[in-house]
Structure 1
Amino acid sequence: MIKTKDHLQMKSIPVLLLSALLLSGCATHQSPTGRGQTLLFSSQEISLMGDSSFEQIKKQEKVSKNNKLVTYVDCVANRVTAVLPNKGLKWDVVVFESDQVNAFALPGGHIGVYTGLLKIAENEDQLATVIGHEVAHVLANHSNEQVSRAQMTGIGMQLADAALGAGGVSNKDLYMAALGLGTQVGFILPYGREQESEADIMGVELMARAGFDPRQSMQLWLNMAKVGGDQGPELLSTHPSHSHRIDDLSQMQAQVMPLYLASKDKVRNSCRISK
């Protein structure tokens, strides 16, 4: 059957109606900085997605057996997660052997760090910058926010595909991409600039409370800016410009340096790589 323009417009009406119903029925929350969020999933549901995705990644990627690197990354991650509100959640930290300059955190308490990042993050404070930033995404419900957007987009896409006779994208792939795992599924649903800036603000506070020098956060992103030419490493593929990020972090220093000074003397475990 030949599909006329009017016919296609009529077929698209259910997509619009379903989108409106989803938006009207979803829960509205505020992020830690007061930004409005639309969240379709409970914390239990989003944690299960994170658990499942992390298990899949561990099967796909090579897990590092370098005990010195693993101990080092564990130390930094454990200090950052120790200052989080949910003290009862034990975070699973895995180092992956890969040249990717990347790291991620997932709901359910999972952190992945690629060995390529350790060539750019020159010290424990710079590594804490990245881990704090990634954990902040989870803490601020950015994962739930992104998966909710993927769900709404995915259902709309599937209905539109049925109406137009096109191929679809699986919900599983949408969830993986929304959780920040674009390299595993071939595409990504990037965090927005507001989410990235929010994670920067929260992340630098987390690292300072954990006794890591927040001044090193600016040096870390300067290092990142030198890597990979115009495109930069994977970690920066969807992030704000280097100069914008560094300016924001510079403005945060007056607020977070007192937190660092108050906490650094209480730190008992240095995270330097043993020789």
Structure 2
Amino acid sequence: MRLIKSFLIGSLLLASSACVNTQTTRQGAVGIERQQLMLLSSQEMTQGASQAYDAILKEAKEKKTLNTDAVMLGRIRTVAQRLIPQTAVFRQDAPAWDWQVNLIKSDQLNAWCMPGGKIAFYTGIIQKLALTDDEIAAIMGHEMAHALREHGRERASEAQLTQIGLTALQVFTGIQGPALDATAMALNVTLTLPNSRTHETEADRMGVELAARAGYNPYAAVNVWQKMSKMGNGGTPEILSTHPAPDNRIKDLQKVAKKVEGLYLKAKK
């Protein structure tokens, strides 16, 4: 038992130390400089995302919901073509990623970007919010930023570290069953949710900069969240949500948009 305890302590300390010097992106004009915990490799996440993305596209194709609107598909792919070169400001390797952009017919207000640059937009978010190209760029830039910062890999690493911690806690204290579940929930609320809000803020700021550098109005991100708020998507208290509260998010986006306004004006010349 003593050997097991020593191993668990060593594993936990070793895993924790992995975050000290990990910085996935450059700071950019918006100043993203947070160190990140990474226990898994980028290759693992990218390969897994590619397989998952292919499966989603296959299912959508079978349901005849994949890329059914040529005009809408053209719009999002045009936006992507302008945004992708701008990713170099944060990661030199990113423009050469295997970026893919597809449209799924669905009423959901959703869009996402998997590790490695696998993007999907749902028709619902474009139609229900009546998105302009500037607003599409704001959303797409946000989602691309998650991939650039490798937030998915960071979350997976946090989960792995939490599991190591729970195993160690169980060995040391004998806590099991419902009590261990409650402990896991406490760790999740304490560690995971604040990081998730941090991820959203980072993606907001980086997304605004990507859009501005591509010649899209950075204030469009503010418009998007004002529209979302009017639709009632954001009433969850900030302390219990993985997303910043709408009012706080809009205020931050306004500040960031002002900071990168010069980049937008330069790109528009």
- Classify the TM-score, shorter chain: 0.7 to 0.9
Task: Give how far 1:249 is off.
Answer: 1.3
1:23 matched to 2:16? The reply is: yes
CA distance in 2, matches of 1:192, 1:230: 15
Residue aligning to 1:170: none
Contact 2:19 2:36 in 1 (8 A): no
Residue aligning to 1:103: 111
1:153 pairs, out of 159, 162, 185, with 162
Task: Give how far 1:251 is off.
Answer: 1.1
Residue aligning to 1:269: none
Normalised by the size of structure 1, how large is the TM-score? 0.72
Task: Give how far 1:12 is off.
Answer: 9.2
Give secondary structure in 1 for the equivalent of 2:67: coil
Structure 1 range deviating more: 12-21 or 206-215: 12-21
Q: How does 1:2-151 map to 2 (within 5 A)?
A: 18-24=11-17, 28-30=21-23, 32=27, 33-61=32-60, 62-85=65-88, 86-118=94-126, 119-151=128-160
1:250 matched to 2:254? The reply is: yes
Aligned length: 231
| Amino acid across the alignment from 2:74 | T
Spell out, residue by residue over 1:42-80, the C-alpha distance to the aligned partner (whole angstroms, 9 max, x if none): 222221122122123224443232111111111112211
Q: Percent identity?
A: 35
| Amino acid across the alignment from 1:77 | A
Answer 1 or 2: which has greater helix percent: 2
Give secondary structure in 1 for the equivalent of 2:113: strand
Task: Give how far 1:150 is off.
Answer: 2.3
Spell out, residue by residue over 1:93-129, the C-alpha distance to the aligned partner (whole angstroms, 9 max, x if none): 1111111101111112211111111021520011111
**Structure 1: 5+ residue runs without aligned partners?**
1-10, 168-188, 266-275
Normalised by the size of structure 2, how large is the TM-score? 0.74
Task: Give how far 1:136 is off.
Answer: 0.8
CA distance in 2, matches of 1:160, 1:53: 33
**Structure 2: 5+ residue runs without aligned partners?**
89-93, 179-191
Contact 2:111 2:143 in 1 (8 A): yes
Residue aligning to 1:172: none
Give secondary structure in 1 for the equivalent of 2:102: strand
CA distance in 2, matches of 1:140, 1:243: 24
Contact 1:137 1:199 in 2 (8 A): yes
Q: How does 1:153-232 map to 2 (within 5 A)?
A: 153-154=162-163, 192-228=196-232, 231=235
Give secondary structure in 1 for the equivalent of 2:260: helix
